[in-house]
Amino acid sequence: MKNLELPSGKHIYFASDFHLGAPDAASSLVREKAVVDWLNTIAPTAQEIYLVGDIFDFWFEYAQAVPRGFTRLLGTLSRLSDEGIPIHVFTGNHDMWIFDYLPAECGVQVHRGPITRSWNGHKFYIAHGDGLGPGDHGYKFIKKVFSSRLCQWLFARLHPNFGISMANFWSRTSRKAGGEKDKIRLDDDKEWLVIYSKEILEKEHFDHFIYGHRHLPLEIQLSEDSRYTNLGDWISYFTYGKFDGEEMQLLEWPKPHLDQ
């Protein structure tokens, strides 16, 4: 893993779980505008930006069609990428069917699993977090099915009007089923991403573990010199991470008013 030195005044930014498109177009638009304001604000000091999964509540790319909407976000990502800011997008459990549209049109780099980075001698392990750690075998099986080329090929045979509407219904159902569970802060020995991170630490040291998926803003000390950060979401918390070369912080963005 190559270590990179951050230029003076430059930071690494992290955010996850925007779930744009949910629960309806009007409130999603308000949150999308907040995300765009955040991106525009951090851009002057951003060395790199990491969007750690579930940007969209659902996303599927047909050969000639993509879900409508999200033009403000996609335009902003394209502009920032054109200005030379590397933008990394992780696929989450709600938008695992991001393929080549975002890289081709917006210039982002797409990651489908955990990655590692090192800045100023600080080692980072970054992942969305779904399917990692113990248990949840049912979801892990479903993820393998949905990630298969056969499943993707079959879904692409559906007309977009039907396929996207059906998938949006699945996504809403899944989010409602897990929504209350996501709000519960578990003991550290039961937080599956904490367990997963500690297992990694037994083999290799990382100073920071950065995840999305959990929807709760969490900062947990794993050991004397290793820390777990869950980025929260932009539905309830509007939290994001910033690494300034020395310190990793979990910060809040002002919550928008839904009547905007």
Q: In whole angstroms, how far apart are CA 30 and each of 24, 101, 194?
A: 10, 24, 33
Q: How far apart are CA 36 and CA 77, in angstroms?
A: 9
* Most confident stretch, 20-29, 47-56, 89-98: 47-56
Whether residue 133 is predicted with pLDDT greater than 70 in this model: the reply is: no
Instruction: Give all strands (DSSP E) within 112-199, no chain letters.
Output: 115-119, 122-127
For position 125, what pLDDT does the model report?
A: 97
For position 175, what pLDDT does the model report?
A: 56
3-state secondary structure of 172: helix
- The answer to whether the CB of 241 falls within 8 A of the CB of 217 is no
Domain that holds residue 42: 10-252
Please indicate, yes or no, if residue 2 is contained in any of the structural domains.
no
For position 130, what pLDDT does the model report?
A: 82
Whether residue 178 is predicted with pLDDT greater than 60 in this model: the reply is: no
Q: How far apart are CA 223 and CA 201, in angstroms?
A: 9
Percent of the chain with pLDDT over 90: 59
Residue 159's CATH number: 3.60.21.10
Q: How far apart are CA 31 and CA 56, in angstroms?
A: 12
Please indicate, yes or no, if residue 4 is contained in any of the structural domains.
no
Tens digit of each residue's pLDDT (9 = 90 or more) over 210-231: 999 888 999 999 999 999 999 9
DSSP classification of residue 95: S
Q: How far apart are CA 183 and CA 172, in angstroms?
A: 16
Indicate the pTM of the whole model. Answer: 0.86
Please indicate, yes or no, if residue 230 is contained in any of the structural domains.
yes
Please indicate, yes or no, if residue 41 is contained in any of the structural domains.
yes
Please indicate, yes or no, if residue 164 is contained in any of the structural domains.
yes
Q: In whole angstroms, how far apart are CA 242 and each of 10, 151, 159, 223?
A: 10, 37, 41, 21
Handedness of CA 97, 232, 132, 169 (dihedral sign): negative
Please indicate, yes or no, if residue 1 is contained in any of the structural domains.
no
For 252, phi then psi, to 5°, come to -110, 140
Please indicate, yes or no, if residue 5 is contained in any of the structural domains.
no
The total number of structural domains that make up the chain: 1
For position 169, what pLDDT does the model report?
A: 57
Q: How far apart are CA 85 and CA 42, in angstroms?
A: 11
3-state secondary structure of 174: helix
Please indicate, yes or no, if residue 137 is contained in any of the structural domains.
yes
Task: Supply the DSSP string of 203-253, one letter for each residue.
Answer: TS--SEEEE-SS-SEEEEEEETTEEEEEE--TTTT-EEEEE-SS-EEEEEP
Written as one letter, the residue type at 100 is D
Instruction: Give all strands (DSSP E) within the chain, no chain letters.
Output: 3-4, 11-15, 46-51, 87-90, 109-111, 115-119, 122-127, 208-211, 217-223, 226-231, 239-243, 248-252
